[in-house]
Amino acid sequence: MDRIVIADPIGGLPEGTIVTDNISQIVAQRAATLPVDADLLKLNGCAGYVRRVFGHGYAFEPHMPKRGAQVVLYALRDRGHINWCARMRRTSSVQLPSGTLRLSTDTSQRQVVTGGLTANLQPEELAKMSGRNPACDDQGGWIVGGTAEFTAQIEGYLGLSLYGTAQHCVVEWVAVTQTA
């Protein structure tokens, strides 16, 4: 299966590059990639792959779960997986990040279709994914993500967002793809 480069900290591969070979080399460079169905990229600007950046970062509440870091993907009903990743960044050099975040559908966005995501992806435990984690980069950031099964009755724009709590960190960007 093809993969799309979301972010390459080394700078060797631009965002949006479709990669079919040398996957292990990309992972060794710590590039963020997601599985992608390259044919979907031709349908419209929101099909197959979308990445949204949040400037200084999207902050979640530390104790009360909420939706945030919204993104929209044009989803087809015959592709049963939504893949996602997000870049987190620490906001405190003293305190370790904590909380849980997961991808969820977000029908609060205007003119989006409904669809269901299964709960088979584990919420990201931010404290385990940061701080002393060797994957944490020089800027205090790290990437979380997962895959969920997707069902829908019709194709259309699917509203998605992260849901949960987080403290001492922000979401810098979210990327999503749809695959079979």
pLDDT at 94: 86
| C-alpha to C-alpha distance for 127 and 47, rounded to whole angstroms | 33
Q: Long-range contacts: 151-155, Cβ < 8 Å, 24+? A: 151/77, 151/80, 151/115, 151/116, 152/75, 152/77, 152/113, 152/114, 152/115, 152/116, 153/77, 154/77, 154/113, 155/74, 155/75, 155/76, 155/77, 155/113
Q: Which helix (H) or strand (E) holds 145?
A: strand 141-151
pLDDT at 134: 43
CATH of 43-179, one of 2.60.120, 1.10.287, 3.30.70, 2.130.10: 2.60.120
Per-residue pLDDT of the chain (180 residues; tens, 9 = 90+): 799 999 988 777 899 999 887 676 666 566 789 999 999 999 999 999 999 999 999 999 999 999 999 999 999 999 999 999 999 999 988 888 889 999 999 988 888 877 788 755 566 677 665 544 545 677 778 888 889 999 988 899 999 999 999 999 999 999 999 999
Domain residue ranges in the chain: 43-179
pLDDT at 4: 93
Global confidence as pTM: 0.89
Do residues 146 and 124 lie in contact, with contact meaning Cβ atoms separated by under 8 Å?
yes
| C-alpha to C-alpha distance for 90 and 130, rounded to whole angstroms | 8
Structure tokens at 128: 């385990």
Phi, psi dihedral angles at 12 (to 5 degrees): -80, -30
Which amino acid makes up residue 11? G
| C-alpha to C-alpha distance for 143 and 6, rounded to whole angstroms | 11
